[in-house]
Amino acid sequence: MDFTVNNIRVDRAAAIGLNAEDIIVLSWFIQFSNSSSIERKYIKKENDMGYWINYDTLIKELPLVFNGKTEKGNKEKLRRMFKGNLSKVLMREQFSNKKDNSKGGSKIFIVLNRFVYESLLIVDTEIQPKTDNEVMIHALGIVLNNNIKVQLSKMDESLLELAIAIAKDNGKKDQFKYIKGIYNNLEKDIKKPQESANSQGPSDSKNTDLHNNTNNSIPQIDDSINNNYTKNVNNENEDPREKIIAKQKQDYEMISRKNKFHNTNASFINYTPDELERHLQESQKGKFK
């Protein structure tokens, strides 16, 4: 688990040399800079706003950090912190209040290095999985974001599981775009009307070539498996969509097993998404009555 303090990742803060006291001062500044009454000044050199910091106020509000016996000692500690690693994220700019020859002091304005600060935060893309689909994708090492979450919420769990299996075999399990492409092809196959055994029509020539080519052919499914599937199709209580998904999984698993024992390049996963879609459609012809 990545430990955080006020949304700041402690491991990332430590990586740039910040300690616990630096994180406390940084957190205080973020809260302080959001106040509407704070004095601001545009810092041209940094092309950003600077915020006036009263050292006495800061020291008073953070007794855990500035617990020295003397005011001078506490102010010296704060100056050292602003000159140390804390300066990587909080930049100190000093401006004189003197006008012409009049006497006056100076004001310290602090500018936040937004790039460094944001690199310390927990980003929105690091979303923890909640649904089964999100858990499956997250387990592949894919970082979840809101866009992926929306897509996963509309995806069938069984079909996604099959798409992931194909992506794994093709060495692309960590590419959500590839998995989604396989999923879309499988889903299209389900939505297409299935042809009966009596109206198969002529087979696609490219698919025929793929089946006849020794190096790219797809092993045929055993008759026993086809017979068992036909029995399942005749079960009126079974969801037709689930039947098709089950058949797709069955085809894929059988082909995967046969490929392990044949010294050929035949593989279900070597097809492009379009070829994969055509094969799935072809393999299901005649299986529905």
pLDDT at position 230, please? 41
Can you give the pTM of this predicted structure? 0.44
What gap in Å lies between CA 127 and CA 17, rounded to an integer?
27
Residue 8 has pLDDT above 80, yes or no: yes
Q: Beta-carbon neighbour count of residue 155 at 10 Å? A: 19
Q: What is the pLDDT of residue 79?
A: 94
- State the Cα angle at 278 between 276 and 279, rounded to 5°: 65
> In the chain, how many H helices and how many E strands?
13, 6
pLDDT at 211: 39
Closest residue by Cα to residue 159 from 174, 180, 135: 180
Q: Which fold has domain 4-120?
A: Arc Repressor Mutant, subunit A (1.10.10)
**Distance between CA atoms of residues 207 and 49, nearest Å:** 65
Residue 175 token pair: 């590419």
**Average pLDDT of 138-157?**
87
Domain with CATH 1.10.10 in the chain: 4-120
pLDDT of 104 reads: 56
* pLDDT given at position 61: 95
- pLDDT tens digit sequence for 205-227: 444 443 344 333 333 334 443 44
Give the model confidence (pLDDT) of 234-279 as tens digits: 455 556 666 667 777 767 666 665 554 444 344 444 556 666 666 6
Model pLDDT, residue 229? 38
User: How many angstroms separate the CA atoms of 16 and 193, rounded?
Assistant: 60
Cβ 144 vs Cβ 120: under 8 Å: no
DSSP 8-class letter at 224: H
Counting residues of the chain whose pLDDT is more than 70, the rounded percentage is: 60
